Chain A
């Protein structure tokens, strides 16, 4: 395989990578939202003292994934 073509980094390749990253980050943000929702469901099923903390962690994770998506829109 000729990697030289790849390393040259044509505009088309960069554009494909950009679209791929954006789609992946959107999918990941959806996953992070589902994870947050599931944390709430789990906490309703079993209430423990650490539950609210874990929900907060899931919320922060969702927030970071959205920030990364936003940053990728701006930078890429």
Chain B
């Protein structure tokens, strides 16, 4: 009997030698990460690329955090010296307000960090998955099979993108399916090359 369909489980993809496996999952470009799994991962599905936005794109909120940290140290003495603001609150009130300020600053840093940490693009040997946490409560997961990818392009715009080698990768899929975008991902050229290699094998 002729073989109509062959399971893709025997298909394996080995990245080029220069894209050796890495262990750090704090990085924004990890090849074949160890001990990383995602919710809809199928049996036999192996993560080949694990991507986040380039760390340099997080600079605005890091600067914002530094301003928030230093604000009470700079502004409070200045205000008290010009006697413009009612700072003669009881000591307990001032202490609680200052502690609360730093707690809010911490949550600002923490929320921004986890939004970066959990906004992930994954390329497996079967699929391309885009996991987005747009805000704290909004989660969006998009996935497409490698076989349904029609076209893939990358775009690197701006001085920072050229200096730090990051850009947007757009994966166009067949039919009505939503396109997948990897925004500000490091080494977009290598990412595109790996996906094209995978498309050739499927």
Contact = CB atoms under 8 A, between A and B. Distances in A.
Given A38-B136, A65-B103, A46 B114 contact: no
A64 to B, nearest CB: 6
Interface string A1-35: 00100110100001001100100110010011011
Contacts of B88: 7, 9
B38 A76 contact: no
**Prevailing SS type, chain A contact patch:** helix
Greatest chain B CB density within 10 A among A18, A25, A72, A76 is at A72
B89 interface: yes
Q: In which size bucket is the chain B interface?
A: 35 or more
B132 to A, nearest CB: 10
By size class, the interface of chain A is: 35 or more
Given A7-B88, A38-B137, A46-B131, A75 B118 contact: no
Interface string B84-123: 1110111011011101100110110011001001101000
Interface string A25-55: 1001001101100110110111111100010
B118 A45 contact: yes
Interface of B: 25-26, 35-39, 84-86, 88-90, 92-93, 95-97, 99-100, 103-104, 106-107, 110-111, 114, 117-118, 120, 131, 133, 136-137, 139, 141
6 contacts: A46-B36, A48-B36, A54-B114, A57-B110, A68-B96, A76-B93
